[in-house]
Amino acid sequence: MSDQDLRVGLIGAGRMGADHARRIHERISNARLVAVGDPDIDRARQAAADTGARAEQDPFEVIGASDVDALVIASPGVAHEPLLLAAIERGVPVLCEKPLTPDSKSSLRVVEAEQARGKHLVQVGFMRRFDPEYVELKHLLDNGELGRALVLHCAHRNASTPPGFTSEMMIYDSVVHEFDTTRWLLGQEISAVSVRWPRSSAAAPEGLIDPQVVTIETTGGVLADVEIFVNCGFGYQVRCEAVGERGAALIGASGGPLIQQSGRWGGNVTEDFRGRFGIAFDEEFQRWAHAARRGGVDPTAASAWDGYAAAAACAAGVQAQATGERAAVELVDRPDFYS
Amino acid sequence: MSDQDLRVGLIGAGRMGADHARRIHERISNARLVAVGDPDIDRARQAAADTGARAEQDPFEVIGASDVDALVIASPGVAHEPLLLAAIERGVPVLCEKPLTPDSKSSLRVVEAEQARGKHLVQVGFMRRFDPEYVELKHLLDNGELGRALVLHCAHRNASTPPGFTSEMMIYDSVVHEFDTTRWLLGQEISAVSVRWPRSSAAAPEGLIDPQVVTIETTGGVLADVEIFVNCGFGYQVRCEAVGERGAALIGASGGPLIQQSGRWGGNVTEDFRGRFGIAFDEEFQRWAHAARRGGVDPTAASAWDGYAAAAACAAGVQAQATGERAAVELVDRPDFYS
Amino acid sequence: MSDQDLRVGLIGAGRMGADHARRIHERISNARLVAVGDPDIDRARQAAADTGARAEQDPFEVIGASDVDALVIASPGVAHEPLLLAAIERGVPVLCEKPLTPDSKSSLRVVEAEQARGKHLVQVGFMRRFDPEYVELKHLLDNGELGRALVLHCAHRNASTPPGFTSEMMIYDSVVHEFDTTRWLLGQEISAVSVRWPRSSAAAPEGLIDPQVVTIETTGGVLADVEIFVNCGFGYQVRCEAVGERGAALIGASGGPLIQQSGRWGGNVTEDFRGRFGIAFDEEFQRWAHAARRGGVDPTAASAWDGYAAAAACAAGVQAQATGERAAVELVDRPDFYS
Amino acid sequence: MSDQDLRVGLIGAGRMGADHARRIHERISNARLVAVGDPDIDRARQAAADTGARAEQDPFEVIGASDVDALVIASPGVAHEPLLLAAIERGVPVLCEKPLTPDSKSSLRVVEAEQARGKHLVQVGFMRRFDPEYVELKHLLDNGELGRALVLHCAHRNASTPPGFTSEMMIYDSVVHEFDTTRWLLGQEISAVSVRWPRSSAAAPEGLIDPQVVTIETTGGVLADVEIFVNCGFGYQVRCEAVGERGAALIGASGGPLIQQSGRWGGNVTEDFRGRFGIAFDEEFQRWAHAARRGGVDPTAASAWDGYAAAAACAAGVQAQATGERAAVELVDRPDFYS
């Protein structure tokens, strides 16, 4: 009923934030957008337009507003920590776009603050956990059909990169998803990361090493390789094959109508992550809204701990990139609070 | 905003109705369930439970209630006509599960009533129009990539039938979807229907002719064949291939993770229509809610006219089944109101 | 050993005959080409060049030659009957390209002659029986994995037609293969043929009805539909799906490398029947050579009876095309000789 | 013609040799088997039976026989060197099953002997070069459709291993094929090999590390990863994806009829390498026979140099396995004779 609608405040009105404003307004049941905060007030107004929400220049006004039951944070990662700490202090559920924070130390502070608060409030936006194919893959692993997992083969491809895209961003913005899906699919932590690369593509901008092959080791002895190729030219593609003791399962290889035309059979490759993961975003937000109305977080979603672990893996990944050596992932002991 | 939430009354609390109650409550933005009407009041109560809606024994109480902005009709098809006429009279938007009504004469009366009311209020629940793959197929046909359509090949398979399922129900309950998708994909009316069949499967219950092959002719000269096989044993599968002058496109053939296991490669077949069309139902309802809040219907959805045309095609289909002869489809002239 | 090599005479040095000359010379073990006969002696010489075979203008010289152990007939169908009768009289094994003869009456005369001779000598070149995918499909049907067959869905597509191609040739040259595969896969005779068609493609030459949909009924109650589309534009494609009581199996839908490129996933469609059935031709000839060295025919191959039955089905198909009515297939009783 | 038939001597009548005896006798045009040599004379007799060939206990008798035009060597790798040197001395073309010899030093002696003889005589049995899908993949790379190659992803899976199979054999017997295909597809040498592994499968026999992931670096800067998993349980599968600057192409992922049955869609996985590469073996032998009749080798096939380079890569692979470190591949300069 309307008096139970979750009243959502959104912080960050960039491309992703504006998408989420529309999503909350048009697609998510039992939730409505009440405020959009962005230092660029015009952008905030634009995202709020037609949603019934007000615009604020100061994000902390949104966090502190009495009519805000829950928060979505879609501002740049560097701004996340103080926003998260304020939200935790106020005790409101937060769906925070990845990364939780840009580095593991600050992520750990968020983890500690949440733990101190004694209540699960923070959820990180690793939307692949809500993609129907990833969900099926996890189901196949969990129900034992494939036997114990041994190897993962992943590919993460973008048609091209925007100006200014760096090798580090390939880890922080892209492979971070594979760090999370690896941890989530297997229920294991990442113990080490290595990075190798072939000669770069002629299509890669100067200074960008592209493609790269990241190797992930887990505490359970699984080896995962990730091809990350952000100027592959032909579209957006995210693939994952899990190889187990009794079988293997692959997602993301193809899909959509099978077309016969001009001497070819096949189909179209999605242009970007929206086409591939649009349904996953909707599902993520809907389940978050249901959970947040009850004051909590969706247990399937990535927690603050997951955000911290991903940040630590990214740090190792960037170090491995820089040194060419295998980098161990250092994590504090997992608190019982997150088990 | 909450004061703009669409207040929905649901009529019919059987399996489909109960599904829709949950859908409206949990998945559909800007809509909330306020009343559930079913002659079986216990069933109504069960469907309404936890949704904040009240239960009513008399469906017309729901239609007439001042707090009901829009209606979903999910009762058996034989009960639809008076419900629809009452809703049209009251001027509330209706999402009516297929069939509009069980026969073309009564469907025509609904069409005429809506036309007399002068406002588009009725939408028929042909959910395939909201399935992402069907939408892509229509896009391929509309944008000319395949050239003009010439032939459709369809297959519609269920693992098995419940007791009491008849050959006529294969037309009314199953092939009716192919009648609608054929009309919608092509933008043409159906001009004639023929039905042939091989020997029946040993798995078909006594008295049921299964499988059957239905041939559809359209006013634009397209020939569509539909294999309808409701005891195929292996799962639920809906396929459609459109063959055009420059290419062909197929949907529904396979999907989900590609598994290598036990000497086989491949994936799982969906058990029933929920697995296959769950997302389509959500999309259908969400778009309907948006349109109904503005007092109208979704232009993509099937109209009362489409419901009437499908009923007329079903009548021809059942006649063709009974006589073994090609049966022409008789339609009144399409009113400008529906063009 | 070389003294056991099958000495082959080839009649007909057109495109198909020249292919076969090369095939026998380069690919077929235990066989060598000794003579090529064609009224166009230059063409015969060209096909014989580099193979060690001599050229003859009179095909009957080839049939009668004492150093010819076996014959391949690749001349036009209208010329087949006297050649076959002469070969039967001489008692040499023959691999005759389809059709056996252009009509069922003359085919029956060949059947009767072979029967009178009391020895299986004639094999008809329905090469699909040697295609690995067709062989697997037959295996699935024979071993009962799919249950009893109920329906076949076939598609037979060519990129375009040469000048002078007629609607009748769509039956005689193309659908004749589906007549044979239907009979062979099912072990049943064809009882009736119907033909329907949508509006023709703009790419079809004037006077040609293209595509067409042929429906085949068998004595075992199976219904087969065949889309025949000879100006489909995108390549050569032969598909067959067998639907049985417990499952369905499809061949020919796709194949080759899976390519991701230019916004598409998928592969290349074969340009013509050589790309699709090259291996089947090799296998057909190799197995024929082994059988012919022992004086007989390959039991898997199409017999003279199969050639006769295909001719009778073609006659019904062309009649159904001309009249728009279902045409029954008339066959004499199958002699024990062919059971 | 028969007097030009290549007279083949076969050395080694184990499982592979017996297969080849049958292949030469039944499938290969212009070649006939005249002698089979094996220290186990009974085995030699069995392989020779029905082929018209004689059996010899001493392989060198076969090499020296005046009626032997060419040799097939299918004995264990440790026996190859003296056989190859004798054949080179006699000047007869040899098709030698892989490995050329078990180590790069002895392989280099063969290379030097052939070079000293001044004539290309030795061909190594890397049959994948004749597999239609690999050929298509090479074609896609050579014609530039995919752009310059950057990364290869390979998987090489066997259902299970025979007793006594060791981790070293995973390199020498299995990954050796990926060493050759990598070199051949790219036209580059291998510069280094690394090996990593996850925890082993419970299905791996004690002492066997299975699966393993081999990383290959090439002189052209390409990075190839190979999953080698010889107790995968579900069948035999060889996959290769080439990722280039403009696209990617994958072979070996699936194939055969697409079956819908028992709640699954998909097809059957080949049990062993015969099902997967049978046609490649036939093609390899046929082309070798044509070349050997002219006294030479097939330019597509792997040369003695290729055999040497594969042996050197294997040595690096086994070293990398033992040390856990990246091992460089040491090759002598490539003689002009092999360019």
3-state SS of chain A is CHHHCEEEEEECCCHHHHHHHHHHHHCCCCEEEEEEECCCHHHHHHHHCCCCCEEECCHHHHHHCCCCCEEEECCCHHHHHHHHHHHHHHCCCEEECCCCCCCHHHHHHHHHHHHHHCCCCEEECCHHHHCHHHHHHHHHHHCCCCCCEEEEEEEEECCCCCCCCCHHHHHHHHHHHHHHHHHHHHCCCEEEEEEECCCCCCCCCCCCCCCEEEEEEECCCCEEEEEEECCCCCCCEEEEEEEECCEEEEECCCCCCEEEECCEEEEECCCCHHHHHHHHHHHHHHHHHHHHHCCCCCCCCEEHHHHHHHHHHHHHHHHHHHHCCCEECCCCCCCHHHC
DSSP string, B81-109: HHHHHHHHHHT--EEEPSPSSSSHHHHHH
CATH of the domain at C101: 3.40.50.720
Q: Are C245 and B202 in contact (CB under 8 A)?
A: yes
Q: Dihedral sign, CA of C23, C26, C32, C35?
A: positive
Which residue, among D192, D195, D269, has the nearest Cα to D238 in the 3D structure? D269
Which residues make beta-bridge pairs with D155?
D227, D239
Binary contact (A261, C237; C-beta < 8 A): no
In whole angstroms, give the CA distance from residue C288 to residue C299.
9
Q: How far is CA C138 from CA C146, C220, C336, D128, in A?
A: 10, 16, 24, 28
Average pLDDT, chain D: 96
Q: Which residue of C has its CA nearest to B151?
A: C198
Show the low-confidence residues of chain A (pLDDT under 50).
1-2
In whole angstroms, give the CA distance from residue C75 to residue C96.
9
> Do residue C166 and residue C226 come from a single domain?
yes
What range does the domain containing D258 cover?
129-272+311-338
Binary contact (A146, B279; C-beta < 8 A): no
Cα D58–Cα D60–Cα D61 angle in degrees, nearest 5: 70
Chain centroid, CA A207 distance in Å = 26
CB atoms within 10 A of CB A191: 18
User: CB of D334 within 8 Å of any CB in chain A?
Assistant: no
Please tell me what DSSP assigns to residue B338: G
Q: How does C255-288 read in b/e, with b if 16+ C-beta sit within 10 Å? A: bbbbbbbeebbbbbbbeebeebbbbbbbbbbbbb
In whole angstroms, give the CA distance from residue D286 to residue C132.
19
CATH of the domain at D187: 3.30.360.10
Residue C261 parent element (H or E) = strand C258-261
In this predicted structure, what is the pLDDT of residue C1? 35
In this predicted structure, what is the pLDDT of residue A1? 36
Minimal C-alpha gap between B51 and chain A (Å)? 8
Binary contact (A30, B30; C-beta < 8 A): no
> Do residue D178 and residue D315 come from a single domain?
yes
Alpha helices for C39-191 (secondary structure H): 41-48, 59-64, 80-90, 104-117, 132-142, 167-169, 176-186
Strand residue runs (E) in D117-276: 122-124, 149-157, 190-196, 212-218, 223-229, 237-244, 247-251, 258-261, 264-268
User: CB of D150 within 8 Å of any CB in chain A?
Assistant: yes
Chain centroid, CA A124 distance in Å = 7
Which residue, among D177, D139, D144, D154, has the nearest Cα to D241 in the 3D structure? D154
Q: Which residue of C has its CA nearest to D136?
A: C257
In whole angstroms, give the CA distance from residue A57 to residue B211.
65
Q: ipTM for the complex?
A: 0.95
In whole angstroms, give the CA distance from residue A206 to residue A231.
12
Contacts of B243 in chain C (CB under 8 A): 211, 227, 229, 232
Q: How many CA atoms lie within 13 A of C289 on its CB side?
A: 28
> Do residue C118 and residue C253 come from a single domain?
no
Using only C-alpha atoms, what is the Rg of chain B?
20
> Do residue C334 and residue C207 come from a single domain?
yes
Minimal C-alpha gap between D235 and chain A (Å)? 10
Contacts of A245 in chain D (CB under 8 A): 201-203, 233
Q: Are D302 and D177 in contact (CB under 8 A)?
A: no
Binary contact (D249, C262; C-beta < 8 A): no
Chain centroid, CA D211 distance in Å = 21
Q: How far is CA A57 from CA A61, A92, D313, in A?
A: 8, 20, 63
In this predicted structure, what is the pLDDT of residue C4? 77
- Domains contained in chain A, number: 2
Contacts of B268 in chain D (CB under 8 A): 263-265
> Do residue B285 and residue B331 come from a single domain?
no
In whole angstroms, give the CA distance from residue B230 to residue B157.
5
User: CB of A213 within 8 Å of any CB in chain D?
Assistant: yes
Q: Are D99 and D314 in contact (CB under 8 A)?
A: yes
Reported as a pLDDT band with limits 50, 70 and 90, residue D253 is confident
pLDDT at B80 over 90: yes
pLDDT at B195 over 80: yes
Q: Which residue of C has its CA nearest to B201?
A: C245
Minimal C-alpha gap between C266 and chain D (Å)? 9
Reported as a pLDDT band with limits 50, 70 and 90, residue B255 is confident
Minimal C-alpha gap between B204 and chain C (Å)? 9
Q: Strand pairing of C70-73 and C190-196?
A: unpaired
Binary contact (D137, C257; C-beta < 8 A): yes
Largest CA distance in chain D: 63
Q: Dihedral sign, CA of C314, C316, C322, C327?
A: negative
In this predicted structure, what is the pLDDT of residue D300? 96
Q: Are B208 and B161 in contact (CB under 8 A)?
A: yes
> Do residue B153 and residue B237 come from a single domain?
yes
Q: Are B243 and C228 in contact (CB under 8 A)?
A: no
Amino acid identity of residue A14, one-letter, is G
**Is A306 a member of any domain?**
no
User: CB of D259 within 8 Å of any CB in chain B?
Assistant: yes
In this predicted structure, what is the pLDDT of residue A156? 97
Contacts of B201 in chain C (CB under 8 A): 147-148, 150, 245
**pTM for this predicted structure:** 0.96
Show the low-confidence residues of chain C (pLDDT under 50).
1-2
In this predicted structure, what is the pLDDT of residue B4? 77
In this predicted structure, what is the pLDDT of residue D3? 53
Chains that touch D (3 or more CB pairs under 8 A): A, B, C
In whole angstroms, give the CA distance from residue C141 to residue C328.
26
**Is A236 a member of any domain?**
yes
Cα D17–Cα D22–Cα D25 angle in degrees, nearest 5: 125
3-state secondary structure of B287: helix
Which residue, among C228, C199, C324, C232, has the nearest Cα to B220 in the 3D structure? C199
Mutate which of B154, B157, B201 to test chain C, going by most C C-beta atoms within 10 A? B201
Contacts of C258 in chain A (CB under 8 A): 253-254, 266
Contacts of B2 in chain A (CB under 8 A): 2-3, 5, 32
- Distance linking the first and last C-alpha atoms of chain A: 34
User: CB of D265 within 8 Å of any CB in chain B?
Assistant: yes
In whole angstroms, give the CA distance from residue B67 to residue B54.
11
Q: Which residues contact C265 (CB under 8 A, 6 or more apart)?
A: A253, A254, A266, A267, A268, A269, C258, C259
User: CB of D264 within 8 Å of any CB in chain C?
Assistant: no
User: CB of A233 within 8 Å of any CB in chain D?
Assistant: yes
User: CB of A246 within 8 Å of any CB in chain D?
Assistant: yes
User: CB of A39 within 8 Å of any CB in chain C?
Assistant: no
Kindly report, residue by residue over D110-166, the tens digit of the pLDDT: 999 999 999 999 999 999 999 999 999 999 999 999 999 999 999 999 999 999 999
> Do residue B82 and residue B160 come from a single domain?
no
Q: Which residue of A has its CA nearest to C264?
A: A268
In whole angstroms, give the CA distance from residue D19 to residue D15.
6
> Do residue C83 and residue C212 come from a single domain?
no
DSSP string, B115-150: HHHTS--EEE--GGGG-HHHHHHHHHHHTTTT-SEE
Contacts of A258 in chain B (CB under 8 A): 249-251, 253
In whole angstroms, give the CA distance from residue B119 to residue B97.
20
Contacts of C261 in chain A (CB under 8 A): 233-234
Kindly report, residue by residue over B111-155, the tens digit of the pLDDT: 999 999 999 999 999 999 999 999 999 999 999 999 999 999 999
Kindly report, residue by residue over A107-117, the tens digit of the pLDDT: 999 999 999 99
Contacts of C234 in chain A (CB under 8 A): 260-264
> Do residue D56 and residue D173 come from a single domain?
no
> Do residue B222 and residue B327 come from a single domain?
yes
Mutate which of C160, C243, C251 to test chain B, going by most B C-beta atoms within 10 A? C243
Contacts of C286 in chain D (CB under 8 A): 26-27
> Do residue A295 and residue A324 come from a single domain?
no
Which phi and psi angles does C95 have, rounded to 5°? -105, 110
In whole angstroms, give the CA distance from residue B31 to residue A31.
11
Contacts of B197 in chain C (CB under 8 A): 223
> Do residue C180 and residue C320 come from a single domain?
yes
Which phi and psi angles does B208 have, rounded to 5°? -100, 125
CB atoms within 10 A of CB B271: 13
